[in-house]
Every structure is written in structure tokens, then in C-alpha cells.
Amino acid sequence: MNNTRELPHRPLGNTGLSMSILGFGGVQVGDYFVRMTEETARAAISQAWNEGIRYFDTSPKYGTGLSEHRIGAGLRGYSRDDFVLSTKVGRRLEPAPELDRDPEHRGLPYRLVTDFGYDATMRVIEGSLNRLGLSRIDIAYMHDLEPGTFGDEYPGIFRQAVDGCYRALDELRGQGVIRGIGGGMNAAEASVSLMRAVDLDCLMFAGRYTLLEQQTLDDVMALALEKNVGIVIGAPFNTGVLATGVVPDARYNNKPLKPELRARVHRIEKICARHDVALPAAAMQFPLAHPATVSVVCGIANADEATRNRDLIMRSIPGDFWAQMREEGLIRPDAPTPAGQAFGAFPG
């Protein structure tokens, strides 16, 4: 008996790839926040597949290779043509045997070394292929290429990425080892700089086009449409508050809530209650209404979360909810909304 459900898919630019509108974020299976058993990781990946998720994202950074190992193992029984897989470049792994003896270390015994050079990128992709147990990667994202990560070193690292990393990825794209080149970003200005500097297929954009943040309609999202760059939304809950609502330990972009933001989320929660809408469902569906968006990626820590996320993204939300959000100034007047359709019927 086949218990697999389906999710809508959307095409990714000119890559020929088709991505499920909900993606599996591989941070948690890399023990990035808490330790996870192999059984729990395998069950999360298996249930995600059963829920129709066919896009899986990972990175050497997540558990210093552990996430790639687990996702590769979890997908091994499925046809390679039936899923889209992305990983990231810009950090190479160096053996660190001393970490084997460190009880506080989570992940595999390696240290991360920043390197966006040509040769390093070739080695990073080869290492990822080996950890994943695959012969090709669909999308390679240049990871965290922005001032918030590198400070004063950012201009030099950006130039290295454009001259070295991108050149390597472009060659690999031509060879069919990868099919798409992307940026994995948090900052709007750096995202625009990268889209203008190189020929990107997609951009994983985390926490900057959400129910709480729409400033990027004018720059990142508009430029993505102009250049046919597919947007993959990461961190749709702004690292917590749009999943939990206002609770004592609610977080916004990994920081405690400020009073004005707490009041704003309270207002959204009241509108959700009035229309019987789950806050996280609205948070997941809102960015998908933008025509540049291809998929929304959520971290999944166990099988139950895979089912919950699938149900939230497919839940019908009435048009009156979005209308009231707009009327009360909680989303921008020009922000596209799902118009009261479930995503099973949403075009794309």
C-alpha cells in the first residue's frame, strides 16, 4: 500500500529542475542544535518523503558533514531523478581528531575553514558528493557570503567567490555535476550584489521576506523576477516567533522580542484567531504567493514535524484573512497573497 502524499511543484528558472513547494531543511539532522539519534534522523527523512517533500537542503556546515551523511543515507533508496538536493560551498572541512574526545562537540570531528577559492570549491563539491553518496548535486549555494558573516574581510572574500568559487561552479554546471548555482543569504544588499555580479539560478533567502519583513519586495524580490532567479525561502518563522506566537521565550532572528515587535505579533495572532488560521500556516504560505518564490524550506527534526509542516503549507486560508492583514497595515499593500486558495490549487 502506497501511503505517499503529493505536494505541488514549481519550476526553477532555466535549470530544468522542479521543486516541491515545501523543502526539508537539514540543519537539525546535523545535530546543529541538539543531538539526534540515527533512527530519528532516518525517520524524519522517510516521513518527509511520505508527505511529498522532494526538495532536500543540506550543507557541510551542518554538523561538519553529519547532515550530508544522514541525508544521503536517508535518500539512498529513492530514484535519483525523483528529488532535488542542494548543498553549500565556501567552507571546507579539515580533520580535527581532538574533537572526538570533546563531549560538548556535536557533529563529526572536523573543523570548518572558510575558502571560496576555485580549488577549494572543487574539493568541497567532491567531499559533499562522497558524504552524500551521490554522483551529482542539483544546486550548490555559496553560503553566507555577506558582511554580517565576514565583517571587514567581506570585500576580499566576495571577490574570491566571484573569481574563484563561481568559476568552479560554472564549470561543474557545464559538466552536469551540478545543475544550478545559488547564493545562501540573509542580507538583502549582499544578495543584490551577488545577483548582479554572477549568473545565479536561485537564491536561498532566509528570514527577510516573511509575514514580519517585506522591505525586500523592492530590491531582492524585484531583481529576482527581473533576472529569473528562483527564490527559496528559508527561516519563514523568523527563527521562532511566527511558529510559536508570543510566548515567554519567543525569538525573532535569534534574539529576544522587542516590545514593538511583540505587539505586532499579538495583532497578527488576533487576526489569526478571528479567521481560524494557524499562525505558522500563514507564515509558510505568505512568501509562496510571490511569483519569484519556488519553495519554502523548514528545518525538520522528527517525523511528526514533517507531517505538521506539510499540513500547514496545504491548509486553506480564507481571503478575508489576507484582506484584514492588509487593511491593518500588517503586510504591505503591494505584497502578493495566496488569495484564499489552498496551494494544491495555487498556480505554479
At 319 the three-state DSSP class reads helix
pLDDT, one tens digit per residue, over 5-19 is 999 999 999 999 999
Give pLDDT tens digits for 299-347. 999 999 999 999 999 999 999 999 999 999 999 999 999 975 555 434 3
Tens of pLDDT, residue by residue over 197-216, are: 999 999 999 999 999 999 99
In a domain, 303, yes or no: yes
| Residue 342, in any domain of the structure | no
Query: Structure pTM?
Result: 0.96
- What average pLDDT does the segment 151-157 reach? 98
pLDDT > 90 fraction of the chain, expressed in percent and rounded: 92
Whether residue 341 lies inside any domain: the answer is: no
Q: Are 53 and 284 in contact (CB under 8 A)?
A: no
Q: Does 97 have pLDDT greater than 70?
A: yes
Residues facing residue 139 across a β-bridge? 86, 180
Let me know if residue 323 belongs to a domain.
yes
Report how many domains make up the chain.
Answer: 1
pLDDT of res. 347: 37
Which CATH number characterizes residue 78's domain? 3.20.20.100
Residue 348 covered by a domain: no
Give the 3-state secondary structure of residue 52.
coil
What integer pLDDT is reported at residue 90 of this predicted model?
Answer: 99
What is the span of the domain harbouring residue 139? 9-327
Catalytic residues: 62
CA distance 163 to 117: 8
**Rounded mean pLDDT of 54-74?**
98
193 within domain boundaries: yes
39 is a domain residue: yes
| Mean pLDDT, residues 41-69 taken together | 98
* Rounded mean pLDDT, 46-51: 99
Mean pLDDT of 22-33: 96
3-state SS, one letter per residue, for 107-172: CCCEEEEECCCHHHHHHHHHHHHHHHCCCCEEEEEEECCCHHHHHHHHHHHHHHHHHHHHHHHHHH
> Is 339 a domain residue?
no
Q: At 293, is the pLDDT very low, low, confident or very high (cuts 50, 70, 90)?
A: very high
Residue 135 has pLDDT above 60, yes or no: yes
Write down the mean pLDDT value for the chain.
95
pLDDT, tens digit, 9 for 90 and up, residues 155-193:
999 999 999 999 999 999 999 999 999 999 999 999 999
